């Protein structure tokens, strides 16, 4: 009987999300979905220069939510949406085998405000406590203050 596990393990060097951005460049949007390690990725982001941070980012809400939101505020993220991903999947008939996070940025749908963003200079106070319902699959979408910045490669720090 052939094993269903046809994957071959490969060792890869561990890098922080900040290291990945420094090495490969900064995307317009960073989707963070690394199964309860989202917090560590976000906390590794240290740059306050708009050229060195993604304009949009999203992550799954978890128990360390206030800590993450406070850090995002320090980095200059001021606009936020809270999106129910399960609701989006059901509305668009996405099966449980092929789950999707839904649209990002301006097209992401906040649970209460639709396409509108919530502005806050103290984002850790937004959205109340973490949901206790296990079926809530909530993504937080964040956007930097101001318009997107287009930067030349030379403007990013080389390390």
Residues whose CB falls within 8 Å of the CB of residue 59, separated by 6 or more in sequence, listed in order: 32, 33, 38, 41, 42, 68, 139, 140
Q: Which residue has the tokens 């941070």?
A: 53
Give 157's pLDDT tier (boundaries 50, 70, 90): very low
Cα–Cα distance, 56 to 33 (Å, whole number): 14
**Tell me: the pLDDT tens digits for 60-75?**
887 788 888 999 999 9
**Tell me: the pLDDT tens digits for 29-42?**
999 988 778 888 89
For 41-59, what is the mean pLDDT?
Answer: 86
């Amino acid at each position: 009987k052939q094993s269903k596990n046809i994957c071959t393990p490969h060792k890869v060097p561990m890098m922080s999300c900040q290291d990945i951005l420094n090495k490969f460049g900064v995307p317009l949007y960073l989707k963070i979905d690394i199964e309860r390690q989202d917090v560590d990725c976000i906390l590794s982001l240290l740059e306050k220069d708009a050229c060195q941070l993604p304009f949009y980012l999203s992550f799954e809400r978890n128990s360390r939510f206030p800590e993450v939101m406070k850090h995002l505020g320090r980095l200059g993220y001021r606009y936020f949406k809270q999106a129910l991903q399960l609701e989006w999947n059901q509305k668009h008939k996405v099966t449980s085998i092929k789950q999707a996070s839904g649209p990002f940025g301006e097209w992401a749908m906040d649970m209460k405000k639709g396409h509108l963003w919530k502005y806050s200079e103290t984002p850790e106070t937004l959205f109340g406590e973490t949901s206790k319902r296990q079926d809530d699959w909530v993504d937080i979408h964040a956007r930097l203050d101001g318009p997107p910045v287009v930067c030349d490669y030379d403007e990013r720090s080389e390390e």
